[in-house]
Chain A
Amino acid sequence: MELICPAGTPAALRSAIDAGADAVYCGFNDETNARNFPGLNFSRDELRKGIAFAHSRGARILVAINTFPRASSVALWQRAVDDAVDAGADALIVADIGLMDYVARRHPGQRLHVSVQAAAADPDAIAFYVETFGARRVVLPRVLSVSEIAQITREVSCETEVFVFGGLCVMAEGRCSLSSYATGKSPNMQGVCSPASHVAYEETAQGTTSRLGGFTINRFAPQEAAGYPTLCKGRFSTEHGDGYIFEDPVSLDATTLLAGLRTAGVAALKIEGRQRGRAYIESVVRHFRRALDTMEDGSEADVGSLKPFTEGQASTVGAYRKTWR
């Protein structure tokens, strides 16, 4: 199985490759990718240099152009496709049907991956992308069990890629409007879930209060581990008490499921976190490189060593070991 690693900066890209990434995914510094955060991402020149570096080390670069173009500015997304192809990207990760059509028609030889943002979670949806646009791989949403992944992988004629670590989005990806509702900025069209411009933290004796777009979404006691300021991980007060309604602040860690994912026929394992620093990239990539190597020689994987990097200092295998329906 290939190890697909995130990079938000050229330095992170080099760290990922040094740590053992088979491929690195990254995006341009604009609205065309789903991690459009300040100080992050690549200029055209940086991407070109990053691809040259990766290829010199035998690694590949996958360019995420995985937001949904607005009707008034489709050219921005099409230019991103043209520039990524021109820079020598090994694959494009795309979510929007119109943009996939553009890739297939304008750059018929370009390898195309269906982004997790497309929320393609069943064989029929995936078959449509394969048959219509020639997609070679689909990144599956983080809502499927390992047995469901195995079933889908058996039925589709393209490769499947799944997340093994990092932020855990339990929504219909690419469709979630929680952050848009609170901030007026869209994760799906502008690439900003919980944009930093709308996040506020307040430190008081009671702890840290986090707000998004004026909505109080959590208050962490002074010694309590914290999570991202996203509404899906907000702690709400209802008539039943205080608690997390959608999702706890917790990160996915599928280290213990790698063998099962291999048996399921998965082609690639993805680490989330283009917004994270080099220290995260280096440690998490190295961990999974080692876990894959030890799986090959039959020894035990090192479980739990990534806890310091997890949201809420806690991890889960999420829907992979689904016990609910």
Chain B
Amino acid sequence: MRPLPLLPLQLVLGGFLARILKRNPGLLDRLGDHRRARFGIRPVDLPFAFIVEAAPPRLSAVRELPPGLDAYVSASLANLLALVEGRVDGDALMFSRALTIEGDIEAVLALRNAIDDAQLDLAAELALLLGPLGEPARRSFELVRDSLAGSPQKAR
């Protein structure tokens, strides 16, 4: 099977990130000194990963995360989405070993706390981004999200 082309994904998600940051300025405030940190996000069940920067907003999709990023966060896609939406507790995921972090732990904590306070609803954000296609996109996203392993892992 041929690997998925990453550029279209990168363009869509990059626009998504920029929109979220614009609509939630408090997120950057809570990131504080870590707003320029480069985070490597690796969904362990996908064949690619992301490099995320908040200021300026930038998102790259890559096959492998390079060394030298400020911090690395790994978890299943379901848990990463749940974490972004505040549906699971980051410490609980750490305790159950469903989440691993390396690098600048202070930057990761700032990011986690900033996101948790922002109360993001990814499906709603996606719907807003895609205009007339928003509603079908929202429903598709919710279907995919809810079908991922049934639900996010809260404990083993």
Contacts and interface: CB of A to CB of B under 8 A. Distances in A.
Instruction: Give the secondary structure class of B's interface.
Output: helix
Nearest to B90: A277
B113 interface: yes
Interface residues of B, number: 35
Interface in B40-76: none
Interface residues of A, number: 40
Interface in A180-228: 195-197, 199-203, 208, 220, 222-228
Contact of A39 (B32, B86, B102): B32
A126 B2 CA distance: 71
Interface string A221-247: 011111110000000000000000000
Given A38-B106, A277-B116, A225 B97 contact: yes
A310 interface: yes
Contact of A313 (B96, B100, B112): B96
A160 B72 CA distance: 43
Contacts of A280: 89, 91-92
A275 B113 CA distance: 8
A201 B95 contact: no
B111 interface: yes
B38 interface: no
Given A11-B118, A38-B106, A276 B111 contact: no
A283 to B, nearest CB: 8
A10 B110 CA distance: 15
Given A201-B105, A223-B97, A38 B110 contact: yes
Contacts of A199: 105-106
A72 to B, nearest CB: 23
Given A203-B100, A225-B156, A38 B94 contact: no
B154 interface: yes
Nearest to B102: A201
Given A275-B91, A313-B156, A39 B114 contact: yes
Contacts, number: 108
A279 B155 CA distance: 13
A280 B96 CA distance: 14
Contact of B95 (A38, A195, A279, A312): A312
A226 B97 contact: yes
Contacts of A249: 95
A310 B105 CA distance: 20
A310 B92 CA distance: 7
Contact of A220 (B97, B109, B154, B156): B97
A10 B116 CA distance: 10
Contacts of B122: none
A280 B31 CA distance: 21
Query: Among A39, A208, A279, which residue has the most Cβ atoms of chain B within 10 A?
Result: A39
B55 to A, nearest CB: 14
B89 to A, nearest CB: 4
B53 to A, nearest CB: 16
A60 B117 CA distance: 20
Contacts of A40: 109, 113
Query: Among B32, B105, B110, which residue has the most Cβ atoms of chain A within 10 A?
Result: B105
B7 interface: no
B18 interface: no
A39 B31 contact: yes
Interface string A1-43: 0000000111110000000000000000000000001111000
A309 interface: yes
25 contacts: A11-B116, A38-B113, A39-B31, A39-B110, A39-B111, A39-B112, A39-B117, A199-B105, A201-B102, A223-B97, A225-B96, A225-B156, A226-B94, A277-B86, A277-B89, A277-B112, A278-B119, A279-B89, A280-B91, A280-B92, A308-B96, A309-B91, A310-B95, A313-B95, A313-B156
| CB-based closest 9 A-B pairs | A39-B113, A308-B155, A39-B110, A9-B117, A38-B110, A280-B89, A196-B106, A277-B89, A308-B154
Given A208-B97, A277-B89, A280-B89, 11 more contacts: A11-B116, A39-B32, A195-B106, A199-B106, A201-B101, A249-B95, A276-B89, A279-B88, A279-B92, A308-B96, A311-B95
